[in-house]
Amino acid sequence: MQNPPSDYDAKRVAHWREVLRANGYRITPTREAVLRALSAGNYALEATEIFERARRFAPHLGLVTVYRTLDAMLSLGLVERVHCTGQCSLYVAAEEGHHHILVCRKCRRVWHFSGDDLTNLMNDVANESGFVIEDHWLQLVGLCPECRDS
């Protein structure tokens, strides 16, 4: 895993605070710590990794608060799950609007891209299966340029 960031993204945290408050969530110091931990860099993190990072901002934080804050943020679309093999769940700060994910399996950095040339594929699948396709998620996994060359 990459080194924990020394700082956090104050602008992103301010936006998250605003959305959470507008939806009836109180911003406690421990919740604030989780927001800060998630805000720096676009890395797919396990809940325990978020916990470790967030403890630097609130040493008495509990893991339960991490899960509850993640649940709230997932339901508000502020955070999204990144697929991984096995049982683990990874989380990354979400981007607004429809987009897809590119994730490096080594450093777990996440890039978002919006290009959508899936229409033909989806039309073919819809025609063959008789499905009405309403939504899709696309995550591409591989090695980023830095990890590919190291």
Distance CA(24)–CA(132), nearest Å, equals 35
Q: How many CA atoms lie within 13 A of 6 on its CB side?
A: 0
Q: Please give the residues from 90 up to 149 whose contact with Zn ion meets the rule CB under 5 A.
A: 104, 106-107, 116, 144, 147
Contact between 109 and 64 (Cβ < 8 Å): no
- Of 71 and 116, nearer to Zn ion (C-beta) is 116
Phi, psi (deg, nearest 5) at residue 112: -105, 140
Q: Supply the minimum distance, in Å, between the C-beta of residue 96 and Zn ion.
A: 14
Single out the residue of 96, 128, 126, 99 nearest to residue 112, CA to CA.
99
| Nearer to Zn ion (CB atom), residue 40 or residue 147 | 147
d(CA 140, CA 143) in angstroms, rounded, equals 10
Question: Residues 58-97: x/- map of binding to Zn ion (CB under 5 A)?
Answer: ----------------------------------------
Nearer to Zn ion, 16 or 43 (CB): 43
Size of the site for Zn ion (CB under 5 A): 6
What's the min distance (Å) between Cβ of 141 and Zn ion? Answer: 11
Query: Which parts of this chain interact with Zn ion (CB under 5 A)?
Result: 104, 106-107, 116, 144, 147
